[in-house]
Amino acid sequence: MLPLFTKQNFNRMENFFSIKDVKNIKKLLSNALKVKANPIANKELGTNKTLGLIFYNSSLRTRISSQKAAYNLGMDVIVLNIGSDGWELESKDGVIMDQGTAEHIKEAAAVISEYVDVIGIRCFASLKNSAQDYSEEVLQNFIKHATVPIINLESSTLHPLQSFADLITIETNKTKPRPKVVLTWAPHPRALPQAVANSFIEWMKEADVELVVTHPKGYELAPEFSNGITTEYDQKKAFEGADFIYAKNWSSYTEYGQILNSDLSWCVNSDKMSVTNNAKFMHCLPVRRNVVVSDEVIDSENSIVIEQAGNRVVSIQTILEEFLKK
């Protein structure tokens, strides 16, 4: 069976792995605002086309927003939860497969491409080996062996659909042409990936914003993301005059995957918000209340986390349209 369309047919975008796949970010953002204004304007675009969603890890927003976006475009959706429903997949080349993995990504990616027209994949960082995580073995293998476009639903080091939704949220909430956006590290009981923070920085570097990143010492991100950014180690000082506060925990990159600090004084609270320019509060969710952010802040009028999550439909729908438009 031939896929309805193959990667070679696209002159716009081959895959959506990172912001680097976007040819024109301004145009993509303007397309997103159109999708947001009228989500069902292109109800026929995806007729007889299928989106496949593959999850190695848990998901609430990504899973549901991707399905909703596909339905807005008239697409069908097939979901596979690797681990619980599928075979454990091998991602390394040349291994003797006599252990846990039953199938290689080489066959899996090619076979899934026979059934669906676009594949979305979520596979978090292991947080055990930085070289392995930062090589993006799983997503890159899918890109190599699939014959249809691949969409990153959060890989080891990136979460571009989240960052694109964040950009849309900032664009539609800003009250000045060049807002001050602060990405603040916050504590967390578990070691989490750097993906959301890495991607957010990558997208904000391309946006018309003043970006400041604040975190305790030891939480510096990988140089490919942190190079050229403004870092302020004093969290409250970083918050001064901010228009947007974006909170997110990540584990250490330099002491890879470690929790170096669980100091609750980094929790975003009203006292810190009081030095901002009446900043909006953002977080990608899921969020640990009263660890990452106080109830008072997340329940305040300045919190836009729900609208931000709503924009996840807009971001993936805009990307799906890129692939569906001939």
Omega within 30 of 0 (cis) for the link into 286: yes
First to last CA, the chain: 20
Smallest gap from residue 234 Cβ to ligand SN0 (A): 24
The site for ligand SN0 (CB under 6 A) is made up of: 190, 192-193, 195-196, 284, 286, 288
Smallest gap from residue 5 Cβ to ligand SN0 (A): 30
Would you say 80 or 284 has its CB closer to ligand SN0? 284
**Residue at shortest CB range from ligand SN0:** 192
Alpha-carbon separation of residue 96 from 93, 164, 224 (angstroms): 9, 39, 34
Smallest gap from residue 213 Cβ to ligand SN0 (A): 16
Cβ partners under 8 Å of residue 128, min gap 6:
256, 257
Would you say 25 or 285 has its CB closer to ligand SN0? 285
Reference 114, options 154, 147, 71; nearest CA is 147
Smallest gap from residue 286 Cβ to ligand SN0 (A): 5
Smallest gap from residue 285 Cβ to ligand SN0 (A): 7
Instruction: Give the orientation angle of helix 25-37 with respect to helix 305-324, to 10 degrees.
Output: 110
Would you say 79 or 291 has its CB closer to ligand SN0? 291
Would you say 20 or 190 has its CB closer to ligand SN0? 190
| Angle at alpha carbon of residue 320, lines to 319 and 326, rounded to 5° | 105
Cross-strand pairs, 82: 86
